[in-house]
Amino acid sequence: MKYWLFKSEPDVFSIDDLRARPQQTEPWDGVRNYQARNFMRDEMKVGDLGLFYHSNCADVGVVGVVEIVKEAHPDPTAFDEKSPYYDPKSSPDMPRWMMVAVKWKASFQRTVSLAELKQEAQLKDMRLVQRGNRLSVMPVTQAEFSHICKMAQRNL
DNA sequence: GCCAACGTTGGC
DNA sequence: GCCAACGTTGGC
């Protein structure tokens, strides 16, 4: 079993949006980066857990946990000319982009902010806290995952 | 809104 | 196959 981190802009799709969905489940569509796609396509399995991260907002940080409930399959938004994620180079015959489906597992009592993450010696190797990181889907180690869940329970 | 860092594109 | 130009991401 593996552990992951999913970034989302809460103005577009937040953890509360996920929680409000039918079955509290949503396809993670719109990923248009090869490295992120490869993680989803090649490595994610049903039952893996992911951290839900809010990016590009006033309150940047990890806000909860999701579970992978469906393995990689073609992302239909790539075929939809009206979608902001449309990619003419992807077709149902030769799908270029994949997505998994995630289910809400838990919302933290508080946001574990990026600034806090950067201060943790145990997390110094995370891609998330390193310079210029732009990956929207990335692996985290089990130790990092547990550590961040523990941080969420700290009283500040 | 700014801007640094990054990934992708396309000319050669 | 190189690399400059460009568009995007994302923290601040």
If you classify domain A3-152 with CATH, what class do you get? Answer: alpha beta
Residue A125 pLDDT exceeds 80: yes
Q: How far is the CA of A23 from the C1' of B2 (A)?
A: 40
Gap between the Cα atoms of A151 and A147, Å rounded: 6
- pLDDT per residue as tens digits for the range A108-118: 999 999 999 99
Residue A93 pLDDT exceeds 90: no
By C-alpha to C1' distance, B5 is nearest to A132
DSSP one-letter string for chain A: --EEEEEE-TTTS-HHHHHHSGGGEEE------HHHHHIIIII--TT-EEEEEE-SSTT-EEEEEEEEEEEEEE-GGGG-TTSTT--TT--SSS---EEEEEEEEEEEEEEEEHHHHHH-GGGTT-GGGSTT---SEEEE-HHHHHHHHHHHHS--
Gap between the Cα atoms of A25 and A72, Å rounded: 15
Using C1' positions and the CA of A115, the closest nucleotide is C11
Give yes or no for CB of A131 within 7 Å of strand B.
yes
End-to-end CA distance of chain A: 31
Using C1' positions and the CA of A113, the closest nucleotide is C11
pLDDT of A132: 87
- pLDDT per residue as tens digits for the range A23-82: 999 999 999 999 999 999 999 999 999 999 999 999 999 999 999 999 999 999 999 988
- At CB < 8 A and 24+ separation, what contacts does A11-15 make? A11/A56, A11/A57, A14/A54, A14/A63, A15/A52, A15/A54, A15/A63, A15/A64, A15/A104, A15/A107
Q: What is the pTM of this model?
A: 0.94
Give yes or no for CB of A35 within 7 Å of strand B.
yes
